[in-house]
Amino acid sequence: MRLRSQYDSEILRLAIPALGALAAEPLYVLVDTAIVGHLGRPQLAALGIAATVLTGLFGVFNFLQYGTTAQVGRASGAGEGRIANRLGAQALWLSLGFGLVIAAAVVGFAPQIVDLMGGEGDTADYAVTYMQIAALGLPFAFLALGGQGYLRGVADLRTPLQIVIVANVVNAVLEVLFVYGFDWGIEGSAWGTVIAQAGMGAAFVVVILRAAYGDARPVRALMGRLLVIGRHIFVRTAALLSAFTLAGAVIARFGDASLAAHQIAFQLWIFLAFVLDAIAIAGQVLVGRGLGAGDSERAYAAGVRMIWLSVYAGVVFGAVMLALQGVLPYAFTSDEAVVERAQAIWPLFALMQPLNGAVFALDGILIGAGDGRYLMWSMVAAFTACSAISLAALAFDWGIVGVWVGLFVLICVRLGLMLRRFSGRRWLVTGWT
């Protein structure tokens, strides 16, 4: 990799604020984990179940964000500024609709979901309570998805960063107050997150409505355009998160210590994934705008640069995680059984980071190009391989380590298939239409 590239300044201009916003998003759950973890093992295990489900539901609808970024970026690159602004308003309508439906479903079916995830006794009761409260914040969180998608597409990554930082500060303050000040326990953690998400969603609505100059009417054709690319990203994300959901469900059968350890590793994995995804966000914007403007060579060259930058960032993260193996788990729990299980999977967790860097960069590039169909089928193939290993881990009692081997295979399959697609250049389709 060359020391410097002509694309570095533009990549960094987009990636640095994206890094702040992306790193802040999973801090909601990391703050929950740190606060709830010191309430006791059942509460932490319950949060592991609830967070797996809620993070999965939230993540599976990230097409509202990624699909919007790709379409808005392509429209902007093609000189269709008015259409780009109207796409932002359509994203809000879609986000609100999906958010309300999912929130109602979680509130109504929380006991059945927890039972399916293997929760029992006090752990199950805590998980149901947390999920039913936290679900009230989902419509606002979904509005933030659509709002961030539009702002990224028009290359405004500072505004989302400011909104998300404020929301995270509010969340942390409220959780400490509710959990320890008011002694609300795990319920206080959930209510703090709901209130913070409500404020965040409202802020994004205000910003997008201003950009639309009052023309926020639903437009079926534009919504349809978002949904066409969105359906492929939906399936791709559903398959990815299903792999982690299945992993959590299998690990729940190995006991609370393993489940709590998985919660710690999974949330750190998500945190680092969001950080590495900063360059992928730059990829969505640069590739979408470049292809919209008809410059396929620039889109490809910038993509190569972003892949290498992501790999080297992943190497750094992996090294740091290995160095902190004996220290970091204690930030989340003092339970020695949980720490021992977390340290058993730590090397796999750390070694995944360089591979994650390449995978996330390729993912962002192909999303920016609107190549959702290939992303969908490649992810289905990776899920099939991962799920087979997870189920084998349950059948042959390989424990939490066996399940994380399956997650490692998931990343390897995705990497191989997406590298093949990128090298073939069939994704370099130019123009708005």
pLDDT in tens, 261-307: 888 888 788 778 877 888 888 888 888 888 888 888 888 988 899 99
Q: Which domain holds residue 362?
A: 8-424
Q: Which of 319, 358, 281, 277 is nearest to 1 (CA)?
A: 358
Distance CA 208, CA 227 (A): 19
Q: Is residue 431 part of a domain?
A: no
Residues 91-124 as b/e (b if ≥16 CB within 10 A, e otherwise) read: bbbbbbebbeebbeebeeebeebbeebbbeeebb
Does the pLDDT value for residue 238 go beyond 70?
Answer: yes
Query: In terms of pLDDT, which residue wins out, 241 or 188?
Result: 188
Q: Is residue 98 part of a domain?
A: yes
Structure confidence at residue 319 (pLDDT): 93
Strand, coil or helix: what is 217? coil
Dihedral sign, Cα of residue 14, residue 19, residue 24, residue 29: positive
pLDDT digits (tens, 9 = 90+) for 368-381: 888 888 999 999 99
Strand, coil or helix: what is 271? helix
Structural domain tally of the chain? 1
Structure confidence at residue 77 (pLDDT): 81
221 pLDDT band, cuts 50/70/90, is: confident
Structure confidence at residue 25 (pLDDT): 65
Does the pLDDT value for residue 183 go beyond 80?
Answer: yes
Percentage of residues of the chain with pLDDT beyond 90: 32
Q: How far from each other are the two terminal CA atoms of the chain, in whole angstroms?
A: 35
Q: Which of 416, 163, 148, 378 is nearest to 285 (CA)?
A: 148
Residue 81, Cβ neighbours under 10 Å: how many?
Answer: 12
Q: Is residue 90 part of a domain?
A: yes
Structure confidence at residue 97 (pLDDT): 93
What 108-115 contacts at long range (C-beta under 8 Å, 24+ apart), as own/partner pairs, is 110/135, 113/53, 114/49, 114/50
Which parts of 38-157 fold into alpha helices (H)? 41-60, 63-77, 81-116, 121-134, 138-153
Does the pLDDT value for residue 390 go beyond 90?
Answer: yes
Does the pLDDT value for residue 3 go beyond 70?
Answer: no
Q: Which of 275, 201, 224, 281 is nearest to 10 (CA)?
A: 281
1 pLDDT band, cuts 50/70/90, is: low
23 pLDDT band, cuts 50/70/90, is: low
If you average pLDDT over residues 101-120, what whole number do you get?
90
Does the pLDDT value for residue 414 go beyond 80?
Answer: yes
Task: Please give the mean pLDDT across all residues of the chain.
Answer: 87
If you average pLDDT over residues 107-126, what whole number do you get?
88
Query: In terms of pLDDT, which residue wins out, 103 or 244?
Result: 103
Q: Is residue 429 part of a domain?
A: no
The answer to whether the pTM exceeds 0.75 is: yes
315 pLDDT band, cuts 50/70/90, is: very high
What is the residue whose two structure tokens read 């340290």? 343
Q: Is residue 212 part of a domain?
A: yes
Q: Is residue 345 part of a domain?
A: yes
Structure confidence at residue 409 (pLDDT): 96
Does the pLDDT value for residue 430 go beyond 70?
Answer: yes
Q: Is 150 exposed, middle or buried (CB count within 10 Å of its CB: 0-12, 13-18, 19+)?
A: buried
Distance CA 396, CA 66 (A): 38
DSSP state of 136: G
Q: Is residue 145 part of a domain?
A: yes
If you average pLDDT over residues 182-207, what whole number do you get?
91
Structure confidence at residue 420 (pLDDT): 94
Torsion from C-alpha of 223, 227, 228, 234, nearest 10 degrees: 170
Least confident span in 9-13, 102-106, 128-132, 176-180: 9-13
Q: Is residue 432 part of a domain?
A: no
Contact partners, residue 419, CB within 8 Å, separation at least 6: 358, 362
Torsion from C-alpha of 399, 405, 407, 409, nearest 10 degrees: -150
